[in-house]
Amino acid sequence: DTAVSQTPKYLVTQMGNDKSIKCEQNLGHDTMYWYKQDSKKFLKIMFSYNNKELIINETVPNRFSPKSPDKAHLNLHINSLELGDSAVYFCASSQESAEAFFGQGTRLTVV
Amino acid sequence: DQQVKQNSPSLSVQEGRISILNCDYTNSMFDYFLWYKKYPAEGPTFLISISSIKDKNEDGRFTVFLNKSAKHLSLHIVPSQPGDSAVYFCAASPYYGQNFVFGPGTRLSVLP
């Protein structure tokens, strides 16, 4: 009965491949996010998506694109994967209260 | 450019004692602050929040203090328990519920 779930938990892939990470929330929240936790453990926001409005962190390469088929889902597509994309990616959601609920993370390793 | 800093990467405390985790920020526009706790292989979980109109917020064993003039906040856990051992992230935002900036985290170890 997980509130925010993301799949897969682990993803190992070769450079140049295209991959997707799925995220679903069953909390009825209006806003969903993708965060990247880099090698220095910083959690940095990549995207927020609210009622069809996408806010992009300008530092995110355009190889990364979020796709939201409906309010409960925000999937992350990554094209032409690079070694530097290796990180843990967290999906999160929030409603009117400020705190976000996070998924368990997806550890992406690009080899 | 780290807008949210947690200068102690790790902290060890004896069970039953007080744990104090510190967080500093540089952006004077930040108005809302959260603390998250993270266990290994799990996502961060919300712990406690404070807005800039308050200087203290308490929830059970957890208290967050905000000193806006110093751009500093701290999380106090008392008494500390072994189950509190985790990484604690401070997060700040200029907007209620929007795009939080996270610090690098402090790993707390509570020793039995």
- B35 contact A CB<8A: no
Q: A85 in helix, strand or coil?
A: helix
Number of neighbours of residue B105 by Cβ within 10 angstroms = 25
Residues of chain B with pLDDT under 50: none
Q: Does B99 touch chain A (CB under 8 A)?
A: yes
State which residues of chain A have pLDDT below 50.
none
A&B contacts, CB < 8 Å: 51
pLDDT of residue B100: 84
CA neighbor of B53 nearest in space, from B33, B70, B35, B36: B33
Residue B70 has what DSSP assignment? T
* Residue A59, pLDDT score: 86
Q: Which conformational region is residue B36 in: left (phi greater than 0), alpha (psi within -120 to 50 degrees), or beta?
A: beta
pLDDT number for residue B96 = 67
Q: Are B32 and A96 within 8 A, CB to CB?
A: no
In A, minimum Cα distance to B103 occurs at: A42
